[in-house]
Chain A
Amino acid sequence: MTETMENSLSWVPRPMRCELEVNNLTVAYRQPGGRVNTAVDSISFKVSAGEVVGLVGESGCGKSTTARAICGLERPKGGSIMFNGKKITPLTLRRRPKEFQSIQMVFQNPYASLNPRRTIRHQIEDGRRANRGEAPSVEELLDLVEIPRSAAGEYPYQFSGGQRQRIAIARAVAAGADLLIGDEPIASLDASLQAKIAQLMRDVCLKTGASLLFISHDLAVVRLIADRVIVMQSGHIVEQGPTEEIWQHPKEAYTQRLLAAIPEADGLGHIPQV
């Protein structure tokens, strides 16, 4: 299926370059009363070109903070994030540097990720303008995410959550993303759509040659799409490796517990262990 879809790409994506290197990244939030909450504590990992990496862990373990830091939305307290050999700087009031615009994010809440007052076409055009190469047309992008071409002139409220997420993916692809980050992009979708959208993100990334950092607490879906998995617990990386290896032989107790908590829909009424 993926093979046939790969051939269906109607434009030639520019050669992708993605070497993301996170070195000893530490992000801390100052809280009222002078307390400091270290959300991410000196983590290191790499994402190479064309790779699909799953970042998993329970809520509050620092997954989203890591993603935000990679996009420049958080100022690291320590360590560095290198993208294609350049250090990522935090976003200021100015434009984001062109070379980092090829890191794009798809957010959790589909109802907040599109501007309610602008048409789909306008918002995808914004993405196309950020593309350093030749951007695919809006119609081609809509085809890619399986949204009818006629939808371009419509407004976000005319779409369901899953469709909006597809449009957000199209916008990120329009920008010629070398690295696509999905920050729990399926968490607010209903169960039947979750696997579909996750699979779509993987397919889109494979087709365009982009890397995907897929953040989720849904391990079953991560297993479905990720080549490699990084497991986080309270700000630390406890384990990382190829997906199947981690699945078959989890080394850390935390990973074992996470895996044991996946519900099994076998009709036998198993309750996930916690």
Chain B
Amino acid sequence: MSDTNEVTASVPALKPRKKRFELPPQWKTAYGIIGVVVVAFWLIVAIIGPLLPLADPLAQTAERLAAPSSAHWFGTDELGRDVFSRVLYGARISIPVAIALVVLSMLLGGLLGMLAGYFGRVLDETIMRLADIVLAFPPIILAMVITAALGPGIGNAVIAMLVVNWPQYARIMRSMVVGVRGSEYVISDRLLGFSAWQTLRVDVLPNVVSSILVLATLDFGNAILLLSGLSFLGLGAVPPTPEWGFMVSEGVQNFSAWWIATFPGLCISSVVIAFNFIGDTLRDALDPHMRKHVQSEAM
């Protein structure tokens, strides 16, 4: 009897266990999960790649242009290198470079756009006309010209892509900051003694940053494609570095050996699509109206 009493007495003391990590409900969509899983897979591969029992991606020891087999799952290229190993090692170049590019352009473009939008006048005109000049050129052409001038290489390719990529962030950031700048809550806080910089940090930034993040996730795909494009043209990764775009370009020279271009191409598509899925999910999750819609469906 006393036991039961003890048990009932202890019941209210039990707190529901807090889950350490729970995916927000708006992320529990098929697209969101697929995107996260695929990107997580590639990130893990990129990190632990060297620990895997893979053939040396640079060793030219195997038979040249061998078709996929149990020894070489994705076949070998024209120098006798293992394509499977090169594809996995390629993730170590393509993904970090794309992330670096997107993060850098988001920071640079976001900062410039915010300054242009908030402070306006001369600063606005100068920054936005600069952006217009860059946007007037087709991105790949401008990136090609800059990389060609600086010399081929991953570092220079990133600089070139950054020059091409920042204006889209600046434009979006500017238009959103202009919208928020005149809001009554910004004025209220100015009246409460906030400096312009403070309102920028407290009121403006939190209200615009979500859209920029969405743009960034959607831009990951573009960044990988742009890098692949530059590498394909011989302006990005320098041989023998395994880079997906460069591997596709090698494959184009050997149409009969379809495996050389197909597998890196599939890798590019999988990452691009996964990042787009994440971007779409993020956009839905951060938009309050969409969030309500998504949540009510989930219930």
Contacts of A91 in B (CB 8 A): 190
Contacts of A116 in B (CB 8 A): 185, 207
A117 in contact with B193 (CB, 8 Å): no
Q: Does B192 contact A (CB under 8 A)?
A: yes
The interface bits of chain B over 148-191 (1 if a CB of A lies within 8 angstroms of the residue's CB, else 0) are: 00000000000000000000000000000000000111011111
B193 in contact with A95 (CB, 8 Å): yes
B195 in contact with A95 (CB, 8 Å): yes
**Docked CA distance A171–B185 (Å):** 11
A127 in contact with B192 (CB, 8 Å): yes
- The secondary-structure label for the interface of chain B is helix
Given contacts A130-B192, A157-B288, contact A117 B187 (CB under 8 A): no
Interface size, chain A (Cβ < 8 Å): 31
Which of B185, B197, B198 gathers the greatest number of chain A CB atoms within 10 Å? B185
- What distance in Å separates the Cβ of A174 from its nearest Cβ neighbour in chain B? 9
The interface bits of chain A over 199-236 (1 if a CB of B lies within 8 angstroms of the residue's CB, else 0) are: 00000000000000000000000000000000000000
Contacts of A109 in B (CB 8 A): 184
- What distance in Å separates the Cβ of A90 from its nearest Cβ neighbour in chain B? 12
- What distance in Å separates the Cβ of B124 from its nearest Cβ neighbour in chain A? 14
**Docked CA distance A175–B192 (Å):** 7
A96 in contact with B190 (CB, 8 Å): yes
Which of A12-20, A41-49, A52-60, A99-107 contacts the other chain?
A99-107
Q: Does B138 contact A (CB under 8 A)?
A: no
**Docked CA distance A60–B191 (Å):** 23
**Docked CA distance A73–B184 (Å):** 12
Residues 195-243 of B at the A interface (beta carbon under 8 Å): 195-198, 202-203, 206-207
Contacts of B288 in A (CB 8 A): 157
- Interface residue from A104, A113, A129, A175 paired with B185 (Cβ < 8 Å): A113
**Docked CA distance A171–B183 (Å):** 16
Chain A's closest residue to B196 (CB) is: A93
Q: Does A30 contact B (CB under 8 A)?
A: no
- Interface residue from B187, B192, B206 paired with A101 (Cβ < 8 Å): B192
B191 in contact with A101 (CB, 8 Å): yes
Binding site for A on B (CB under 8 A): 119, 183-185, 187-198, 202-203, 206-207, 288
Q: Known pairs A71-B191, A94-B196. 6 more at Cβ < 8 A? A: A93-B195, A107-B184, A115-B185, A115-B207, A117-B206, A168-B188
Binding site for B on A (CB under 8 A): 71, 73, 91, 93-96, 98, 101, 103-105, 107-109, 112-118, 123, 126-127, 129-130, 157, 168, 171, 175
> Could you jot down 8 A-B contacts, CB within 8 Å?
A94-B195, A95-B194, A95-B195, A101-B191, A105-B187, A107-B187, A115-B206, A126-B194
